[in-house]
Structure 1
Amino acid sequence: MAIRGVLFDLDNTLLNRKQAFERYARYLIEQYAHVNNDDELEAYVASMIRADQNGYRSKKELYTELRDTLPLKDAATTVEQLLQTWFTQFSSFTVHMDGALDILEALRNDGYRLGLITNGSSGSQHGKIDRAGIRHYFDALIVSDDVGVKKPQPAIYAIALERLGLTPEESIYIGDHPINDIQGANAAGLRAVWLEGFMQWPQGGAAHPHVIYHLSELRSLLMELNRGA
């Protein structure tokens, strides 16, 4: 069956969360921590990036650790203050993935229906979407916090497909996470494309899906799959 709908992950797929978090980490440390020199700053930034675990760690746990380990300018700084900085400031560091706007524009012009499925808090994810200026591209936009279910659960894909008016067989999903994105989409009946470069494929996991290394490769892949259909 020909592909009519293209659904995307958000972080490290359409937005470069890795770059955004590095910039944000530098900002947070400069705001709250006493740093003696550039080398020390870079060491704290690297430590914060490791502690973040690519965004898959509890925010309260992360900022509790930072509160206890950073050399704070003000010893009275609370975890709640650090969390509030995250929720109010992180979206301002949003970075487009290279080629994201081009591929969204091209796919819209090609007549595909477009969807977005992302895990995360409503405020944080919607803030990034609006900061990136990409909301208008999507016929369905699903944030897990809004619907009470998250990837890799099949239900979140079903919600998106219902809003798009498409079946799984005529839809494809692109993301960077082998479990949440690729195995989740496959379990929901969609074809999946792995954007390699951010997450490791699990040892002993299912065979690789379609793989791209840059979003610019997606359009030709869709043409190839539709020719085969």
Structure 2
Amino acid sequence: MKQYLRLRPFKAISFDLDDTLYHNAPHIIKAESKLSLFMQEQFNVPDAWGLTQWRELKAKVIAVHEELAHDTTAARYEVLRQALIQWDYSEVEASQGAQQGLECFCFHRSDFKVDLSVLKLLTDLGEHYPLVGITNGNVDARRIGLDDVLEFVVHPGHGVRMKPYSDLFDLSCQHLEIEHQDLLHIGDHPISDVLGSRAAGCQSLWLNLNPGNNQQARHILPHIEVDELQEISLLAAH
């Protein structure tokens, strides 16, 4: 554990979810694969349609609907809908197909459980502080086992912007009825989590999963840096 700034007393702890409480990549890869298979089985996907075409379409959709850059679920739905329209499906068929595809993705995206050691860590910390989730993603916290250890989870969308914007931190502090300086945010990303929380006026603990990584020096220092999640058990004594 490295301390860069004095950690002041805090009243609550917020956690990023993806890649902080679990390794996210395998679940996204699985969900993307299941979605691709679903689309191939249910619709006439052009032979030349692949990852490049999906990425290009997503960029076009977000360029037209900038608010979707802050809503991963709505963006995925709209990309699916636009793809189906390009493939000559009707508006009704495209809307229904996009919803079905989205449901397929969301099911597999949250089809796992957080490790028991992490849940125990959160349970122990929860005896001392209210714990909440602040995520840019769309994982279903209930399905992955976090509903018993986190008081609530906030997501971007519907006018609420992603981290590093302050919206999610503002919303969390409002729900917790605390000042921003009384919230300690824990996350793996030096921009979304460290810069975001510091810019919002919160305290920051960076989970640096790549100890050789010095990205924080290019942005802003966290109060504390750890390279293993279990190190935060020391916060219970703070």
TM value normalised by structure 2 = 0.64
Gap regions ≥5 residues in structure 2: 1-7, 42-49, 59-68
Cα distance, 1:93–1:153 mapped onto 2, change above 3 Å: closer
Distance in 1, matches of 2:89 and 2:82, equals: 15
Select the residue among 11, 14, 24 that pairs with 1:7.
14
Instruction: Tell me the equivalent position of 2:168.
Output: 156
Cα distance, 1:100–1:65 mapped onto 2, change above 3 Å: farther
Instruction: Tell me the equivalent position of 1:20.
Output: 27
Retained in 1: the 8 A contact 2:188–2:206? yes
Select the residue among 190, 202, 210 that pairs with 1:178.
190
Retained in 1: the 8 A contact 2:114–2:144? no
Cα distance, 1:219–1:203 mapped onto 2, change above 3 Å: closer
Retained in 2: the 8 A contact 1:172–1:193? yes
Retained in 1: the 8 A contact 2:133–2:153? yes
Instruction: Tell me the equivalent position of 1:70.
Output: none
Retained in 2: the 8 A contact 1:13–1:97? no
- The aligned amino acid for 2:102 is W
Retained in 2: the 8 A contact 1:14–1:96? no
Aligned residue runs from structure 1 range 42-121, under 5 A: 58-59=75-76, 63=80, 81=97, 84-94=100-110, 95-98=112-115, 99-109=117-127, 111-120=128-137
Cα distance, 1:206–1:59 mapped onto 2, change above 3 Å: same
- CA-atom RMSD in angstroms: 3.9
- The aligned amino acid for 2:122 is L
Instruction: Tell me the equivalent position of 1:135.
Output: 147
Distance in 2, matches of 1:215 and 1:66, equals: 40
State how many pairs are aligned: 199
Distance in 2, matches of 1:96 and 1:115, equals: 17
CA offsets, 1:139-158, max 9 Å, x none?
A: 34322226634322224312
Gap regions ≥5 residues in structure 1: 35-43, 68-73
- The aligned amino acid for 1:135 is D
> Alpha-carbon deviation of 1:97?
4.8
Retained in 1: the 8 A contact 2:34–2:104? no
Retained in 2: the 8 A contact 1:195–1:211? yes
Structure 1 position 216 matched with structure 2 position 230: yes
Instruction: Tell me the equivalent position of 2:36.
Output: 29
Secondary structure at the counterpart of residue 139 of structure 1: coil
TM value normalised by structure 1 = 0.66
- The aligned amino acid for 1:216 is Q
Quote the sequence identity (%). Answer: 21
Distance in 2, matches of 1:203 and 1:112, equals: 27
Worse-matched range after superposition: 8-17 or 201-210: 201-210
- The aligned amino acid for 1:217 is E
Distance in 1, matches of 2:39 and 2:162, equals: 33
Instruction: Tell me the equivalent position of 2:61.
Output: none
> Alpha-carbon deviation of 1:2?
1.8
Q: Which protein is richer in helix relative to its size?
A: 1
> Alpha-carbon deviation of 1:85?
1.7
> Alpha-carbon deviation of 1:104?
1.5
CA offsets, 1:71-116, max 9 Å, x none?
A: xxx997987535632344424442345443122211112x211121
Cα distance, 1:146–1:137 mapped onto 2, change above 3 Å: farther
Distance in 2, matches of 1:201 and 1:33, equals: 42
Distance in 2, matches of 1:179 and 1:134, equals: 24
Retained in 2: the 8 A contact 1:92–1:131? no
